[in-house]
Amino acid sequence: MPIYEYECTNCGHRIEVMQKFSDPPIEECEKCHGKMKKLISQCTFHLKGTGWYVTDYGSKAQHKNKKDDGAKSDKKE
């Protein structure tokens, strides 16, 4: 379920609410009964587990490059 952030246009009170997509937006401030507006926040989630580029393909390429660099440096010595 997504987390939405709201701010009161009257007193500036901010809240975060976990809501379903089908839930109606919060319209009234719980402190001053002013009008609430939904804020657009920065998304802060991470894709974890297998099946993502970073975990499956990106890390293999990085390890391969590190191994190649190590092999090249060993040959120069």
CATH number of 1-40: 2.20.28, 3.40.50, 1.10.3470, 3.40.190?
Answer: 2.20.28
On whether the CB atoms of residues 35 and 27 are closer than 8 A, the answer is yes
**Res 76 pLDDT > 60:** no
**C-alpha torsion angle, residues 66, 69, 75, 77 (rounded to 10):** -100
Convert the pLDDT of each residue in 38-61 to its tens digit. 998 776 666 666 766 655 665 555
Say whether 45 sits in a helix, a strand or coil: coil
Q: Which amino acid is located at 37 in the chain? A: K
For 63, the enclosing helix (H) or strand (E) is helix 59-76
Instruction: Give residue limits of the domains in the chain.
Output: 1-40, 48-77
Question: How far is it, in rounded angstroms, from Cα 75 to Cα 64?
Answer: 17
Is the pTM value of this prediction over 0.75? Answer: no
